[in-house]
Chain A
Amino acid sequence: MILMLFTDIHFIFLFVPVVLLTVRILKSRQHRFLILLLASYVFYAAWNYKFVSLLLLSTCVGFFSGLLISQNERNQKIKKISLVLSVGCNLTVLGFFKYFNFFMGDVQAILAWFGLESKLPLLNVVLPVGISFYTFQSMSYTIDVYRGHVKATGDFLKFASYIALFPQLVAGPIVRYKDVDGQLDRMDKPVGSDDLTVGLQIFLLGLFKKVLIADSIAKMVNPMFDSYLDLDQLGAWMAALGYAFQIYFDFSGYSDMAVGLGKMLGLQFPYNFNSPYKAINMADFWRRWHITLSTWLRDYLYIPLGGNRVSRGRTAFNVLLVFTLGGLWHGAAWTFVIWGIYQGALVAGYYVFRRPWDNMPVLIQRILTFFFVVIGWVFFRSDDVPMALALLEKMFHSSTSISLSSELARLAVWNGILLCAVNFLSNTNSFKGNKNPLAAVIFACLFVLSIIAVNSLRIEFLYYQF
Chain B
Amino acid sequence: MKNSNKLFLISFSICVTALSSSLVALSVCVDPRGVFGTNKYPIVVATSRTEKLLFLESGNPRPEALILGSSHCMRFSPKVVEKTTGLRTFNLSVDSGKIEDFLALVNYTIEEIDLKPKLIILGVCPRTFCNLEDEGFDKRLISNITLMNHLPLNPIVRIRKKAGLCFETLNYNYLKDVRKSIALSRKQNLPLAHYTFESDGFLAWEEKFNEEGALLSGAIEPDTRVTGFSEKRKQYFDDLLDVCRKRGISLKIVITPYAPAYIRRLDGLDGSFSRWNSMLVEFLESRNRDNFYEIYDFSRIEKYGGVDEFMGAAHPSIHNSTLMLNKLLAK
Contacts and interface: CB of A to CB of B under 8 A. Distances in A.
Interface of A: 9, 193-194, 196-197, 200, 435-437, 439-441, 443-445, 447-448, 451-453, 455-456
B12 A444 contact: yes
B135 to A, nearest CB: 13
Interface string B3-14: 011111101100
11 contacts: A197-B5, A197-B9, A436-B4, A444-B12, A447-B16, A448-B16, A448-B20, A452-B172, A452-B175, A455-B168, A455-B170
Given A9-B167, A453-B172, A456-B172, A444 B19 contact: yes
Given A435-B7, A448-B19, A193 B172 contact: no
B15 A444 contact: yes
B12 A193 contact: no
Contacts of B23: 448, 452
A441 B19 CA distance: 10
Interface residues of B, number: 22
B171 interface: yes
B286 interface: no
A201 to B, nearest CB: 9
B6 A193 contact: yes
B171 A440 contact: no
A455 B167 contact: yes
B16 A444 contact: yes
Nearest 10 CB-CB pairings of A with B: A444-B15, A440-B11, A193-B5, A193-B1, A456-B172, A440-B12, A455-B171, A435-B4, A435-B8, A437-B11
A138 to B, nearest CB: 36
Most chain A beta-carbon neighbours within 10 Å: one of B4, B8, B16: B8
Contacts of A196: 1, 5, 9
B83 interface: no
A440 B8 contact: yes
B154 interface: no
B139 interface: no
Contact of A193 (B2, B16, B170): B2
B5 A452 contact: no
B173 interface: yes
Given A448-B16, A452-B175, A456-B172, A194 B11 contact: no
Given A193-B2, A435-B8, A456 B19 contact: no
Given A196-B5, A197-B5, A456-B173, A451 B12 contact: no
A211 to B, nearest CB: 11
Contacts of B167: 9, 455
Interface in B1-42: 1-2, 4-9, 11-12, 15-16, 19-20, 23
A307 B12 CA distance: 49
A196 B20 CA distance: 22
A451 B6 CA distance: 23
A137 to B, nearest CB: 31
Interface string B110-149: 0000000000000000000000000000000000000000
Interface string B157-182: 00000000001101111010000000
A269 B170 CA distance: 32
Given A435-B5, A435-B7, 7 more contacts: A193-B5, A194-B2, A197-B5, A197-B8, A436-B8, A437-B11, A452-B170
Given A435-B7, A437-B7, A451-B20, A443 B12 contact: yes
Contacts of B19: 444-445, 448
B263 to A, nearest CB: 34
B170 A448 contact: yes
A452 B8 contact: no
B15 A439 contact: no
Contacts of A439: 8
A342 B8 CA distance: 47
A339 to B, nearest CB: 34
Contacts of A437: 7-8, 11
Contacts of B12: 200, 440, 443-444, 447
B246 to A, nearest CB: 40
Contacts of B5: 193-194, 196-197, 435
Contacts of A200: 9, 12
Nearest to B176: A456
A356 B195 CA distance: 71
A436 B9 CA distance: 10
A448 B167 CA distance: 12
A272 to B, nearest CB: 26
A445 B16 CA distance: 7
B300 to A, nearest CB: 40
Most chain A beta-carbon neighbours within 10 Å: one of B7, B11, B168: B11
A455 B171 CA distance: 5
Contacts of A435: 4-5, 7-8
B166 to A, nearest CB: 11
Contacts of B170: 448, 451-452, 455
A197 B9 CA distance: 7
Contacts of A456: 171-173
Contacts of B15: 440-441, 444-445
A445 B15 CA distance: 8
A124 B7 CA distance: 54
A441 B8 CA distance: 9
A250 B68 CA distance: 48
Contacts of B11: 437, 440-441, 444
A64 to B, nearest CB: 41
A456 B176 CA distance: 11
B165 to A, nearest CB: 12
A443 B15 CA distance: 9
A56 B175 CA distance: 45
A441 B7 CA distance: 12
Contacts of A440: 7-9, 11-12, 15
A444 B9 CA distance: 10
A437 B2 CA distance: 14
Nearest to A197: B5
B9 A452 contact: no
Contacts of B175: 452
Contacts of A441: 11, 15
A208 to B, nearest CB: 14
